[in-house]
Amino acid sequence: MALHQISSSSSSSSSMVLLSRSSATPLQPCASLLPGGDRWSSSFSSLSVFSKKNKMKNLEMNKRRRTNFVTRSSLETPVEVVVGQVTEVNKDTFWPLVNASGDKVVVLDMYTQWCGPCKVIAPKYKELSEKHLDVVFLKLDCNQENKALAKELGLRVVPTFKILKDSKVVKEVTGAKLDDLVFAIETAKSS
C-alpha cells in the first residue's frame, strides 16, 4: 500500500498531514494523521479532522458513490462476524454487514460508553449472542463519529435495540428491557 502526502499545514495550535493512497477507491478511503495524539476519522464522502481545540474542519474528498462493498472499516481493517459473539460496528461497517447477513435476523445494540443502563445490559446481550447462534449480534457506540448513522436509524434514547431482517428494521426495543428484547428476537425469527 503506497501512501502519498497530498497536503501539509502547520500552525501554532496544531499540525496536520493528509495522506492519500495511490489509487483511492470507495473501498480505500483516505485518512488524516495528526501528530501529538489528536483524533482522526475517515469516511467515503468527507474527512473530518479534529484539532486539539476541538475545531472541526470538513474536507471534501473522494466523492465517488459507494457501489461494491467488502466489509472493511477505515484503513482496510476487515470486520468479520463470529457466531456466538457480539461484533462492534461503525458507520462504515454497519450496512455492509447487515446486507451480507441476508435473511438472518440482525440485532443492533445502540449504546454510549457513559450510559449506566447500557453497561448493565451489555453482559446479558453477550449471553443472548451465545444462546441464539442463528442471529447476528452487533453493537454501535453512538459517539460523535457514528452520529450520522445513529440519526439515520432514528436513535432517540440509549440503549436502543434495532432488530433487522432482510436489511430492514422490523422491531425496536428502547431501554434495558431484556424480556422485551428476547420477545422481539423470537418474534423476528419466527416471521
Q: Of these residues, 97, 118, 140, 155, which one is catalytic?
A: 118
Identify whether 118 is a catalytic site residue: yes
Distance from C-alpha of 140 to C-alpha of 88, rounded to nearest angstrom? 6
Distance from C-alpha of 18 to C-alpha of 187, rounded to nearest angstrom? 48
Give kind and range of the element (H or E) at residue 138: strand 135-141
Q: Of these residues, 115, 122, 178, 182, which one is catalytic?
A: 115
Identify whether 142 is a catalytic site residue: no
Contact 181, 127 (CB under 8 A): no
Measured CA to CA in angstroms, residue 2 lies from 23, 28, 42, 185 at distances of 9, 12, 17, 45
- CB-CB neighbours of 79 under 10 Å: 18
Known catalytic residues are 115, 118
